[in-house]
């Protein structure tokens, strides 16, 4: 390992000398001499030896060498005055994201190591751990990750936190490198143990549905009303999960018959095109023989039914069932151990 690192360091140093030598050749003898006067004799000797290996540079090659040299000088100055985020912002605006990232990596090889432990965790876990942290610090950390990695974590925050962090990200300007180093070290100490903790996955929606299935209708209504006050979309998702079209088998025969009295025949035909056999049989056994034959014929006759149309028809029938239950016309069977109203 040590020999490999030493070899890499030697190669990097040789590459740097070649670039400096190319700059000296591009500048010409007089300007190059002024630069070399302030360098140690040993370095001057090495650079002189390196310049001897460079053939004459064309006009375009000189321009390219000097442009790169000038960009690096500007980048170093920006980093010294405003820190890496400030330098990256100006370099990106001026040179574009790819060139800016290339210069930043060359000037600060440790740049990509900052907050890398956040990118190595799953986005959901990283977001969960960061949610309690001040949004300004979270924004600074995300600014040092690759955009795709930062986006995944940002997307995993709760809406309020997501918006707050996004605003802080947009407002990032001058941040000293020492501040970044300190925050990185603090986050590493406090957050890495949390990121490495095993996380148990719970299907919250499924768990809530199971609980409500074992509750009374009054309890279910109370819970859904409270959820609706805070998040109507979530309440609708819970209602959809509580009773699906396939749950029609949970209704007794009398309830199915009440449903069949009021549902639209076309909706019933569309719904049964994508229904399980068990659901279809629950419908058929509650129809007269003639009505059953007519319905089966309509189902067979109806061709090229899109799945989304069938699903939409099923939702309409579920709405009818929920309405009949709310009126007290029918009762949806619940799990054993239901609590009792009153």
Q: Is the pLDDT score of 6 beyond 60? A: no
How buried is residue 171: exposed, middle or buried, by Cβ count under 10 Å (0-12/13-18/19+)? exposed
Which residue's entry shows tokens 């959901």?
124
317 vs 45 pLDDT, higher one: 317
Helix ranges (H only) for the chain are 2-27, 29-36, 41-51, 59-95, 97-107, 116-120, 123-130, 135-142, 147-156, 159-170, 177-195, 204-213, 217-230, 232-242, 253-262, 265-273, 277-284, 289-301, 307-327
Task: Round to whole Å and give the CA distance between 180 and 97.
Answer: 21
The DSSP output letter for 56 is P
pLDDT in tens, 206-247: 778 778 777 777 888 888 888 888 888 788 888 878 788 888
Cα 11 to its chain centre, rounded Å, is 39
- What's residue 278's pLDDT? 92
- What's residue 3's pLDDT? 42
- What's residue 109's pLDDT? 54
Q: Is the pLDDT score of 105 beyond 70? A: no
pLDDT in tens, 250-285: 899 999 999 999 999 999 999 998 888 999 999 999
pLDDT in tens, 133-181: 999 999 999 988 888 889 999 999 988 899 999 999 888 877 777 888 8
The answer to whether residues 251 and 321 touch, using CB atoms and an 8 Å cutoff, is yes
Task: Round to whole Å and give the CA distance between 274 and 332.
Answer: 22
Domains (range + CATH), the chain: 2-107 (no CATH), 114-195 (1.10.220.30), 243-327 (1.10.220.30)
Q: Is the pLDDT score of 8 beyond 50? A: no
Which residue's entry shows tokens 């151990």?
337
Mean pLDDT over 184-213 rounds to 76
Please state, as a whole number, how many other Cβ atoms lie within 10 Å of the Cβ of residue 62.
17
State the pLDDT confidence band at 316, using cuts at 50, 70 and 90.
Answer: very high
Half-sphere exposure of 117 (CA within 13 A, CB side): 15
Mean pLDDT over 23-32 rounds to 66
Residues across the chain:
342
> Taking CA 173 as the corner, what is the angle to CA 170 and CA 176, rounded to the nearest 5 degrees?
135
> Taking CA 294 as the corner, what is the angle to CA 293 and CA 296, rounded to the nearest 5 degrees?
65
Among residues 225, 258, 251, the alpha carbon closest in space to that of 331 is found at: 251
Task: Round to whole Å and give the CA distance between 177 and 180.
Answer: 5
- What's residue 2's pLDDT? 37
pTM: predicted TM-score of the whole model, two decimal places = 0.40
């Amino acid at each position: 390992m040590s020999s490999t690192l030493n070899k890499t360091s030697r190669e990097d140093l040789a590459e740097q000398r070649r670039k400096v030598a190319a700059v000296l050749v591009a500048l010409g003898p007089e300007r190059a001499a002024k630069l070399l006067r302030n360098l140690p004799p040993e370095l001057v000797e090495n650079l002189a030896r390196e310049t001897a290996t460079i053939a004459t540079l064309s006009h375009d090659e000189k321009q390219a060498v000097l442009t790169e040299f000038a960009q690096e000088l500007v980048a170093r100055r920006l980093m010294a005055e405003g820190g890496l985020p400030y330098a990256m912002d100006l370099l990106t605006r001026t040179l574009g994201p790819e060139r800016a990232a290339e210069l930043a990596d060359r000037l600060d090889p440790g740049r990509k190591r900052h907050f890398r432990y956040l990118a190595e965790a799953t986005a959901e876990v990283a977001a969960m751990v960061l949610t309690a942290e001040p949004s300004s610090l979270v924004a600074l950390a995300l600014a040092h990750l690759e955009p795709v990695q930062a986006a995944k974590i940002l997307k995993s925050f709760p809406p309020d936190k997501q918006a707050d962090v996004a605003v802080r990200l947009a407002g990032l300007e001058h941040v000293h490198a020492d501040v970044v180093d300190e925050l990185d070290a603090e986050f590493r100490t406090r957050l890495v143990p949390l990121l490495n903790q095993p996380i148990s996955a719970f299907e919250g929606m499924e768990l809530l549905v199971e609980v409500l299935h074992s509750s009374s209708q009054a309890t279910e209504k109370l819970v859904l009303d409270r959820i609706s006050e805070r998040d109507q979309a979530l309440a609708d998702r819970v209602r959809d999960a509580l009773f699906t079209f396939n749950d029609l088998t949970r209704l007794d025969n009398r309830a199915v018959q009440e449903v069949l009295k009021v549902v639209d025949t076309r909706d019933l035909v569309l719904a049964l095109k994508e229904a399980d056999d068990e659901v279809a049989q629950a419908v058929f056994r509650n129809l007269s023989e003639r009505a059953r034959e007519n319905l089966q014929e309509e189902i067979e006759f109806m061709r090229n039914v899109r799945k989304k149309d069938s699903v939409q028809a099923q939702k309409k029938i579920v709405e009818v069932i929920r309405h009949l239950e709310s009126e007290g016309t029918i009762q949806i069977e619940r799990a054993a151990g239901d609590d009792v109203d009153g």
